């Protein structure tokens, strides 16, 4: 193994003494998708985001070994697990994925054809081949298991005393870092400034820098290409938006949300535009449902006013500078409409058709993790994991992000994490080709497990043994006024007083 200078981050004493610092480093490191902490013997990069999880897992599972490093009384004993249901579902998913990945490519070899990565001399390419065991099975299964460990470690740390406010601050910090990387790259592309991000691109990936779409340079931040940057930025935009509406540093959160939205649009990625459209379609649908249920309670807040002002500013800019409109039209046509007719669009459509055939040819069992690719996450799930694995994954998401979205008055960090998960799933639905959703998805899922510890919606037991929800009509037990709630709309799952 060949270390890089970024491996020295593990020498910071704070991350080994305080779990909140360790978790903050793990969250921030997700913004560096092209940065390796070391290179393995085969030349494969060991990403910084993977190495940064080591202190988190240390704090989560080695409390006795680290007792001499932490002052007495600093770390609270773990409380009863609020994520027990999600833990069991995730464990069942990992077991099913492991068994299916080991046996399906062997027992069902040759029964269907799959899209696989094959070596073509000095480069790799996707080819249609008969189903058989391949190296991608182990890699993708390892990513899934590692994501599960990340989820469990974060959920455990939150039970050991890491405060949700610290987690929310870490999410704001990674948002600021990602926005700064986009700004530095924009200065390099548009103003000719030095490329200050070059030292961070040491993972050996092909860096797609400087491509133009509709006259605009594509932004990729500290990621290898604009699509990965767009997915990450979309998730952070949803996180900051929810934090602003949840009252956590609202001015800073709102500023970062707007900045990330601008960076997202400048990435000129079809994944960015498709994911953003799907995300806000869900927000609009939620607002429509609330409007039908309680039309008198719907209020237009500062968000609607800012959106109106932004729309007016855009219209004014287009009127004052007509070439800008031409550039926007060309960009939309290139990234959306002509994308489907391009060779890449036709290839990805073929992937989707073949993934569906792999699902049906195996009678709904799936071909195993990493055996085939698609261009939409639902088809990735069905083709790789089958019906059983897809249901387990949906159950895991419902028990984590879904629970936080529908919970009355969730903590701001939990609501923000749930919105980040939703944004990642929206982007994956548009263009994901593999099962791995990235470390950030499982970190956010771990944060959402803390929502059930909030006392405002713990069940209240009556003498007869029935359960009465602590939040509903009337006054909750914490003495705050009665009110309404919204899961994914403008309120971001945060309580609104009547």
d(CA 137, CA 114): 12
Tabulate helix, strand, coil % of the chain (nearest 5).
60, 5, 30
Query: In the predicted model, is pLDDT for residue 411 greater than 50?
Result: yes
Q: Would residue 468 be called left, alpha or beta, if left means φ above 0 and alpha means ψ between -120 and 50 degrees?
A: beta
Predicted confidence band at 203 (pLDDT cuts at 50, 70, 90)? Answer: confident
- Are 436 and 140 a contacting pair, CB within 8 Å? yes
Q: What is the reported pLDDT for 475? A: 34
**CA separation for the pair 450, 158 (Å, rounded):** 7
Residue 160: pLDDT band with limits 50, 70, 90: confident
Calpha distance 302→255 (Å, rounded)? 13
Computed on alpha carbons and rounded to an integer, the radius of gyration of the chain in Å comes to 23
CA 158 vs. chain centroid, Å, equals 19
pLDDT band at 458 (very low <50, low <70, confident <90, very high): very low
115 forms beta bridges with 128
| Cα 354 versus chain centre, distance | 26
Q: How far apart are CA 341 and CA 328, in angstroms?
A: 19
For the chain, the straight-line distance linking the first and the last C-alpha, in angstroms and rounded, comes to: 60
| Rounded percentage of the chain residues whose pLDDT exceeds 90 | 53
pLDDT at 471 over 60: no
Q: Contact 367/417 with Cβ under 8 angstroms?
A: no
Residues 113/126, Cβ–Cβ less than 8 Å? no
Tens digit of pLDDT for each residue in 216-272? 778 889 999 889 999 999 999 999 999 999 999 999 999 999 999 989 988 888 888
* Residue 328 tokens, joined: 């926007």
CA distances from 35 to 126, 149, 203, 222 (A): 25, 21, 5, 8
The reply to whether the predicted model has a pTM over 0.75 is yes
Most confidently modeled range among 69-73, 123-127, 390-394, 401-405: 390-394
Over 50: is that where the pLDDT of 117 sits? Answer: yes
Query: How far apart are the C-alpha atoms of 97 and 93, rounded to whole Å?
Result: 6
Q: Six-digit token pair at 85?
A: 């249901």
Number of residues assigned to the chain: 498
Q: How confident is the model at residue 132 (pLDDT cuts 50, 70, 90)?
A: very high
| Distance between CA atoms of residues 236 and 243, nearest Å | 10
127-131, 311-315, 349-353: which has the minimum mean pLDDT?
311-315
Weakest-pLDDT range from 77-81, 201-205, 318-322: 77-81
170-196 average pLDDT score: 93
What is the structure's pLDDT at 81? 53
In this structure, what token pair is assigned to residue 194? Answer: 């030095």
The answer, yes or no, to whether residue 152 has pLDDT greater than 90, is yes
Spatial separation of the C-alpha atoms in residues 490 and 287, rounded to whole Å = 7
Q: What is the reported pLDDT for 336?
A: 56
Q: Give the DSSP H/E element, type plus range, for residue 128.
A: strand 123-130
* Helix residue ranges per DSSP H, 160-222: 164-191
In this prediction, residue 136 has a pLDDT band, given cuts at 50, 70 and 90, of confident
SS3 category, 3: strand
Angle at 205 between CA 204 and CA 208, to 5 degrees: 135
Q: What are the DSSP calls for 9-51, one per residue?
A: GGG-THHHH-HHHHHHHHHHHTT-TT-EEEE-TTS-EEEHHHH
Give the containing element (helix H, strand E) for 111. Answer: none
What is the band of 478 on the pLDDT scale with cuts at 50, 70, 90? very low
Torsion (CA) 227, 229, 235, 241 in degrees, nearest 10? -120
Supply angle C-alpha 379, 434, 392, rounded to 5. Answer: 60
Residue bearing the bigger pLDDT, 360 or 77: 360
Average pLDDT over residues 318-323: 65
Q: Taking 50 as the threshold, does the pLDDT of residue 477 lie above it?
A: no
Higher pLDDT, 302 or 389: 389
52 CB burial (10 A radius; 0-12, 13-18, 19+) = buried
């Amino acid at each position: 193994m060949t270390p890089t200078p970024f491996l020295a981050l593990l020498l910071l004493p704070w991350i080994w003494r305080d779990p909140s610092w360790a978790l903050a480093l793990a969250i921030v490191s997700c913004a560096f998708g092209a940065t390796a902490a070391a290179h393995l013997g085969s030349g494969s990069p060991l990403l910084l985001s993977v190495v940064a999880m080591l202190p988190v897992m240390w704090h989560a599972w080695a409390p006795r070994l680290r007792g001499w490093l932490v002052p007495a009384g600093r770390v609270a004993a773990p409380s009863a697990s609020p994520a027990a249901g999600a833990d069991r579902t995730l464990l069942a998913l990992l077991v099913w994925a492991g068994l299916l990945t080991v046996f399906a490519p062997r027992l069902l070899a040759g029964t269907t054809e799959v899209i696989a990565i094959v070596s073509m001399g000095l480069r790799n390419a996707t080819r249609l081949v008969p189903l058989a065991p391949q190296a991608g099975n182990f890699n993708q299964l390892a990513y899934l298991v590692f994501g599960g460990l990340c989820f469990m470690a974060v959920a455990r740390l939150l039970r050991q005393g890491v405060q949700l406010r610290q987690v929310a601050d870490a999410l704001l910090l990674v948002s600021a870092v990602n926005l700064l990387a986009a700004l530095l790259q924009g200065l390099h592309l548009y103003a000719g400034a030095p490329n200050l991000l070059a030292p961070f691109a040491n993972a050996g990936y092909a860096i797609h820098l400087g491509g133009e779409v509709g006259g605009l340079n594509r932004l990729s931040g500290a990621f290898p290409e604009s699509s990965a940057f767009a997915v990450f930025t979309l998730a952070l935009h949803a996180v900051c938006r929810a934090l602003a509406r949840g009252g956590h540093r609202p001015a800073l959160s709102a500023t970062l949300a707007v900045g990330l939205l601008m960076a997202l649009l400048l990435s000129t990625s079809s994944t960015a535009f498709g994911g953003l459209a799907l995300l806000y379609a869900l927000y609009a649908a939620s607002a429509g449902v609330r409007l039908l249920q309680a039309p008198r309670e719907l209020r237009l807040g500062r968000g609607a006013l800012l959106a109106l002002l932004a729309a007016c500013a855009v219209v004014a800019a287009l009127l004052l500078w007509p070439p800008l409109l031409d550039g926007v039209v060309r960009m939309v046509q290139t990234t959306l409409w002509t994308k489907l007719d391009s060779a890449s669009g036709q290839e990805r459509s073929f992937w989707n058709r073949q993934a569906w055939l792999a699902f049906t040819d195996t009678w709904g069992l799936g071909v195993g993790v990493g055996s085939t690719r698609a261009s939409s996450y639902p088809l990735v799930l069905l083709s790789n994991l089958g019906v059983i694995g897809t249901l387990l994954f949906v159950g895991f998401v419902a028990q984590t992000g879904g629970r936080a979205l529908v919970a009355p008055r969730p903590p701001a960090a939990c609501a923000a994490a749930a919105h980040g998960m939703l944004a990642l799933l929206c982007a994956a639905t548009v263009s994901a080709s593999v099962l791995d959703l990235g470390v950030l998805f499982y970190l956010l899922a771990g944060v959402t497990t803390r929502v059930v510890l909030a006392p405002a919606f713990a069940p209240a037991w009556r003498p007869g043994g029935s359960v009465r929800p602590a939040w509903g009509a009337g006054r909750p037990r914490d003495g705050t006024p009665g009110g309404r709630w919204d899961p994914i709309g403008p309120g971001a799952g945060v309580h609104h007083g009547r």
